[in-house]
């Protein structure tokens, strides 16, 4: 490049014997060439910066490229998301809140409790294949709910755990606590110890099934609990199984149980963990670990009034993220 400049200037001065030619060439080398070099460096730096900016923009949108189905996360406006649940939390993969509504207040969590029950069981060295039989001690004397597991029903500890998580079987959860070393009270104490270890400082548990309205946690605490529960393969499997059959009575047929999360039937949802809950005092509750627009998300919805409201709110969250409004 610079040789061409020299040639051009030399040509302008005509013959190589021009008396001022040596002086002009000296001036060019002394002043013009350094200026050209500086210009080239600045231009190169600017191009590199522009390229880095373009790459950064691509990284913001995991779908990448043109025709991506959603807008970069930074463009999402929480004010555009109108949820009917009293408390709601959406956490990204790093545990940062994409959306938060009344997340600090402790409130009843109903059967969401059973996730903690499962973690305490799985943290122990108890035999998951040990047979457990339902007794009168496992009946619900708080909410007076019924159960398809009658007295005398016998299943393994793992099957009891599956039914407690998948179909929210209260007697199964009660039997798990009753057969804990030193009994139910020791089990509930272990639940509270586990909660503290997870940093769930607004939470407290009084029973293993969630029937006691004094079982409380904040949405923020439940976000921590869901993320912790994701490290247990059995919990992930049990909470996302749509239905399962067991044979708790000798000489009788199967009992088929279904999952309480209807979103598992929707092929558009990729759910890795979920749990529902309901009490009059707690309203409708739902927690999930899912993936929307290629982004792993933790969703917590508490105190929803209306049987379908948590599922409706879940779909509203999905639309909000995918549309980027």
pLDDT value, residue 19: 53
Q: Are 282 and 172 contacting, i.e. CB atoms less than 8 angstroms apart? A: no
SS (H, E, C) 132-193: EECCHHHCCCCCCCCCCCCCCCEEEHHHHHHHHHHCCCHHHHHHHHHCCCCHHHHHHHHHHH
244-288 pLDDT, tens digit each = 999 999 989 999 999 999 999 999 999 999 999 999 999 999 999
pLDDT value, residue 23: 55
187-214 pLDDT, tens digit each = 999 999 999 999 999 999 999 999 999 9
Give the contacts of 266 (CB within 8 A, at least 6 positions apart): none
22-33 pLDDT, tens digit each = 554 555 555 554
67-126 pLDDT, tens digit each = 334 445 667 888 889 999 999 999 999 999 999 999 999 999 999 999 999 999 999 999
150-189 pLDDT, tens digit each = 999 999 999 999 999 999 999 999 999 999 999 999 999 9
pLDDT value, residue 68: 38
pLDDT value, residue 298: 98
- The CA distances from residue 250 to 83, 124, 130, 174, 254, in Å, are 47, 29, 17, 22, 10
Residue from 290, 269, 236, 285 nearest 92 by CA: 290
User: Distance between CA atoms of 32 and 258, rounded to whole angstroms?
Assistant: 81
What distance, in Å, lies between the first and last C-alpha atoms of the chain? 51
pLDDT value, residue 323: 85
Specify the CATH number of the domain 73-323.
3.40.710.10
Region label for 324, one of left (φ > 0), alpha (ψ between -120 and 50) or beta (otherwise): left
Diameter of the chain by CA atoms? 119
218-233 pLDDT, tens digit each = 999 999 999 999 999 9
pLDDT value, residue 78: 84
Q: Are 138 and 171 contacting, i.e. CB atoms less than 8 angstroms apart? A: yes
Is residue 8's pLDDT more than 70? no
Domain residue limits, the chain = 2-60, 73-323
Is residue 53's pLDDT more than 90? no
User: Distance between CA atoms of 222 and 114, rounded to whole angstroms?
Assistant: 12
pLDDT value, residue 45: 45
pLDDT value, residue 251: 87
Q: How confident is the model at residue 139 (pLDDT cuts 50, 70, 90)?
A: very high
**Could you give the residue numbers annotated as active site?**
111, 114, 168
Write phi, then psi, for 205 (nearest 5 degrees): -120, 140
Q: Are 280 and 296 contacting, i.e. CB atoms less than 8 angstroms apart? A: no
Q: How confident is the model at residue 58 (pLDDT cuts 50, 70, 90)?
A: very low
């Amino acid at each position: 490049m610079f040789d061409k400049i020299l040639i051009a200037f030399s040509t302008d001065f005509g013959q190589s014997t021009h008396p001022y030619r040596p002086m002009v060439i000296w001036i060019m080398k002394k002043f013009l060439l350094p200026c050209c070099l500086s210009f080239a460096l600045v231009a190169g730096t600017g191009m590199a910066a522009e390229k880095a900016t373009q790459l950064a923009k691509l990284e913001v949108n995991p779908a990448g490229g043109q025709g991506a189905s959603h807008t970069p996360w930074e463009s999402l406006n929480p004010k555009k998301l109108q949820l009917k649940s009293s408390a709601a939390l959406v956490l990204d993969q790093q545990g940062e809140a994409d959306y938060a509504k009344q997340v600090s207040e402790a409130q009843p969590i109903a059967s969401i409790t059973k996730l903690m029950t499962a973690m305490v069981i799985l943290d122990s060295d108890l035999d998951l294949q040990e047979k457990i039989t339902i007794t009168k001690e496992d009946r619900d004397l708080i909410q007076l709910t019924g159960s398809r597991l009658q007295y005398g029903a016998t299943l393994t500890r793992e099957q009891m755990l599956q039914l407690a998580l998948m179909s929210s079987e209260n007697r199964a959860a009660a039997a798990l606590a009753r057969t804990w070393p030193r009994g139910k009270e020791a089990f509930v104490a272990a639940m509270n110890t586990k909660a503290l270890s997870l940093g769930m400082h607004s939470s407290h548990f009084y029973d293993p099934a969630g029937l006691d309205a004094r079982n409380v946690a904040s949405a923020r605490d439940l976000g921590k609990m869901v993320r912790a529960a994701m490290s247990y393969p059995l919990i992930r499997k049990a909470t996302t199984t749509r239905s399962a059959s067991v044979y708790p009575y000798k000489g009788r047929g199967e009992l088929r149980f279904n999952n309480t999360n209807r979103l598992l039937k929707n092929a558009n949802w990729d759910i890795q963990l979920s749990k529902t809950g309901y009490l009059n005092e707690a309203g409708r509750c739902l927690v999930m670990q899912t993936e929307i627009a290629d982004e792993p998300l933790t969703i917590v919805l508490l105190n929803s009034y209306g049987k379908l409201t948590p599922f409706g709110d879940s779909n509203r969250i999905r639309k909000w993220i995918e549309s980027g409004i």
